[in-house]
């Protein structure tokens, strides 16, 4: 499948400040999760006038989409694609100019390294010096999946812009049929940060990608909404079975702890509440987490308290005050408490008993708050357990760590 059908070669590679034509392929017949049962290119023509032929036609369109998108990547272009976490903006991780196009399109600070995506475990050995036994266990347990491993980079293999000068590289294998097929078809390591403008919430739909990057990137593969909704967990392994979480995400601390070889899971002190880039002692080891990411345009506060009633009373008081001064206010609340708030102001984060729903919805709710011109966003906290830890991490970042603690 090395058919070099490069569309619109004239628009390659996407360059800073220059508007490019962004191709969009809408995939219709692709199962979202499962890398094994995708259509492959054949020379068979579709049988007309049957449901099966429609399906085959869709397959043909999808096959062409993969070939075109992969050819763009091989030729130094930038292509956004879905993963199980969020949409990523991919480019050939070996190609300096291609990687530079990612930074330019996103407006991303150049000292923030990128995650390299692979479709096959074998590719990892080409990218890193060695894979320790603990990392190997995590890979067996969680790949493909939302776990990113930081490992010692092999010199000279990747563009130096990918690692931002570090001697390590972050690598993951996404659990999404479209991502895996694109990576396999491109047959190169693909650097891919989330496909949003820097400082905007990560995209969980192709529509979000278009909002931010239309005209700034070469293509978008649209396969519907992503699953997890928050980014992968970034970890480092060390001797004695220690795993350090540099960024909480789709794989939880509890899941990591359950792996046989894992003796301890800790969270990078740089991630603790209030730690900032100026806090030398707590400088985060994952450079990206120091930036105020995921920021909605409105002012956001997390409201915490000893009981639902106390929190709801405080939120209502803030809501009334702000509304009186002409502000537009959104409340992000869990289903169990929706009735405590006026209908027209409240957005559901899903059930408190299923924080994966909040993970799926958070970024698109933040975008919606922006679209609707919200000046103030008041968000309920959830217990930082399981995926709730990643939800709270992203909420706190979105809120710039502004928390209202209510008393009794």
Site residues (vs Mg ion, CB under 5 A)? 194
Q: Given the rule CB under 6 A, which of 48-56, 70-78, 127-135, 281-289 is the region that contacts ligand TXA?
A: 281-289
Determine if 287 is a binding residue for ligand TXA (CB under 6 A): yes
Minimum Å distance from CB 122 to ligand TXA? 20
Helices (H) and strands (E) in the chain, counts: 11, 16
**If residue 208 lies in a helix (H) or strand (E), which one and from where to where?**
helix 206-213
Determine if 70 is a binding residue for ligand TXA (CB under 6 A): no
Do residues 83 and 209 make contact, with C-beta atoms less than 8 angstroms apart? no
The residue at minimum Cβ distance from ligand TXA is: 288
Identify the residue among 20, 38, 170, 396 touching ligand TXA (CB under 6 A).
170
Length of the chain: 408
Other beta carbons within 10 Å of 163: 18
Tell me, residue by residue from 26 to 65, as one string, x for binding to ligand TXA by CB under 6 A and - for no binding.
Answer: ----------------------------------------
Q: Given the rule CB under 6 A, which of 82-90, 126-134, 326-334, 341-349 is the region that contacts ligand TXA?
A: 82-90
Identify the residue among 246, 315, 369, 382 touching ligand TXA (CB under 6 A).
246
Do residues 192 and 90 make contact, with C-beta atoms less than 8 angstroms apart? yes
Contacts 24+ apart (CB under 8 A), 71-75: 71/3, 71/4, 71/5, 71/6, 71/7, 72/6, 72/7, 72/12, 72/23, 72/218, 72/219, 73/98, 73/182, 73/186, 73/188, 73/190, 74/4, 74/186, 74/187, 74/188, 75/6, 75/9, 75/12, 75/13
Comparison of 212 and 231: residue with beta carbon closer to ligand TXA: 231
- Alpha-carbon span 91 to 98, nearest angstrom: 6
Identify the residue among 63, 149, 251, 289 touching ligand TXA (CB under 6 A).
289
Binders of ligand TXA among residues 218 to 237 (CB under 6 A) are 231-232, 234
Backbone torsions φ then ψ of 302, nearest 5 degrees: -95, 135
Minimum Å distance from CB 330 to ligand TXA? 25
Determine if 300 is a binding residue for ligand TXA (CB under 6 A): no
Beta strands in 126-180 (DSSP E): 147-152, 168-172
Identify the residue among 101, 163, 205, 360 touching ligand TXA (CB under 6 A).
163
Q: Given the rule CB under 6 A, which of 4-12, 18-26, 165-173, 237-245 is the region that contacts ligand TXA?
A: 165-173
Question: CB under 5 to 8 A by kind: which of ligand TXA, Mg ion, none does 112 bind?
Answer: ligand TXA
- Alpha-carbon span 355 to 130, nearest angstrom: 36
- Structure-token pair, residue 401: 């760590």
Minimum Å distance from CB 36 to ligand TXA? 20
**Nearest CA-CA partner of 157 in 108, 103, 96:** 96
Q: Given the rule CB under 6 A, which of 166-174, 306-314, 365-373, 394-402 is the region that contacts ligand TXA?
A: 166-174
Question: CB under 5 to 8 A by kind: which of Mg ion, ligand TXA, none does 113 bind?
Answer: ligand TXA
Could you tell me the strand order of the sheet in which 264-267 lies? Answer: 23-26, 219-222, 79-81, 88-92, 190-191, 115-117, 168-172, 147-152, 233-238, 242-247, 264-267
Minimum Å distance from CB 202 to Mg ion? 5
Other beta carbons within 10 Å of 176: 28
Tell me, residue by residue from 177 to 216, as one string, x for binding to ligand TXA by CB under 6 A and - for no binding.
Answer: ---------------xxx----------------------
Alpha helices for 327-387 (secondary structure H): 355-371
Question: CB under 5 to 8 A by kind: which of ligand TXA, Mg ion, none does 364 bind?
Answer: none
Do residues 340 and 323 make contact, with C-beta atoms less than 8 angstroms apart? no
Tell me, residue by residue from 86 to 125, as one string, x for binding to ligand TXA by CB under 6 A and - for no binding.
Answer: x-x-----------------------xxxx----------
Determine if 362 is a binding residue for ligand TXA (CB under 6 A): no
Could you tell me the strand order of the sheet in which 346-348 lies? Answer: 346-348, 329-333, 376-380, 299-304, 403-405
Applying CB under 6 A, the residues found at the interface with ligand TXA are: 83, 85-86, 88, 112-115, 146, 148, 150, 163, 166, 168-170, 174, 192-194, 231-232, 234, 246-247, 285-289
């Amino acid at each position: 499948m090395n058919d070099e059908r490069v569309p619109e070669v004239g628009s390659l590679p996407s360059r800073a400040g220059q508007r490019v034509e962004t191709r969009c392929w809408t995939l219709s017949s692709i199962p979202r999760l499962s890398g094994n049962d995708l259509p492959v290119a054949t020379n068979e023509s579709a049988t007309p006038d049957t449901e099966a032929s429609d399906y085959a036609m869709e397959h043909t369109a999808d096959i062409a989409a993969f070939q075109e998108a992969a050819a763009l990547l091989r030729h130094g272009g930038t292509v956004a694609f879905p993963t199980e976490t969020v949409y990523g903006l991919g480019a050939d991780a070996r190609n300096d100019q291609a990687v530079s196009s990612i930074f330019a399109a996103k407006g991303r600070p150049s000292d923030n390294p990128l995650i390299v995506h692979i479709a096959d475990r074998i590719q990892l050995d080409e990218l890193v010096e060695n894979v320790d036994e603990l990392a190997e266990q995590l890979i067996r347990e969680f790949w493909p999946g939302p776990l990113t491993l930081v490992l010692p980079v092999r010199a000279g293999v990747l563009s130096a812009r990918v690692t931002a000068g570090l001697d390590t590289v972050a690598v993951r294998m996404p659990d999404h049929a479209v991502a895996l097929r694109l990576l396999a078809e491109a047959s190169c390591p693909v650097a891919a940060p989330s496909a949003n403008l820097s400082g905007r919430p990560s995209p969980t739909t192709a529509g979000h990608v278009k909002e931010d990057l239309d005209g700034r990137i070469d293509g978008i593969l649209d396969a519907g909404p992503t699953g997890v909704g928050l980014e992968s967990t970034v970890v480092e392994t060390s001797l004695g079975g220690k795993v350090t979480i540099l960024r909480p995400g789709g794989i939880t601390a509890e899941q990591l702890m359950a792996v046989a070889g894992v003796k301890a899971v800790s969270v990078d002190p740089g991630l603790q509440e209030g730690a900032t880039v100026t806090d030398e002692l707590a400088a985060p080891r994952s450079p990206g987490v120091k930036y105020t990411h995921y920021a909605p345009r409105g002012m956001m506060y997390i409201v915490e308290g000893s009981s639902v009633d106390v929190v709801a009373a405080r939120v209502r008081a803030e809501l009334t005050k702000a509304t009186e001064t002409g502000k537009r206010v959104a409340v992000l609340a869990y289903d169990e408490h929706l009735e405590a708030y006026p209908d027209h102001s409240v957005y559901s984060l899903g059930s408190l008993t299923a924080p994966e729903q909040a993970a799926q919805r958070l970024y698109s709710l933040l975008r919606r708050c922006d679209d609707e011109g919200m000046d103030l966003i008041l968000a309920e906290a959830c217990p930082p357990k399981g995926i709730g830890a990643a939800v709270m991490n992203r909420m706190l970042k979105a809120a710039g760590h502004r928390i209202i603690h209510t008393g009794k």
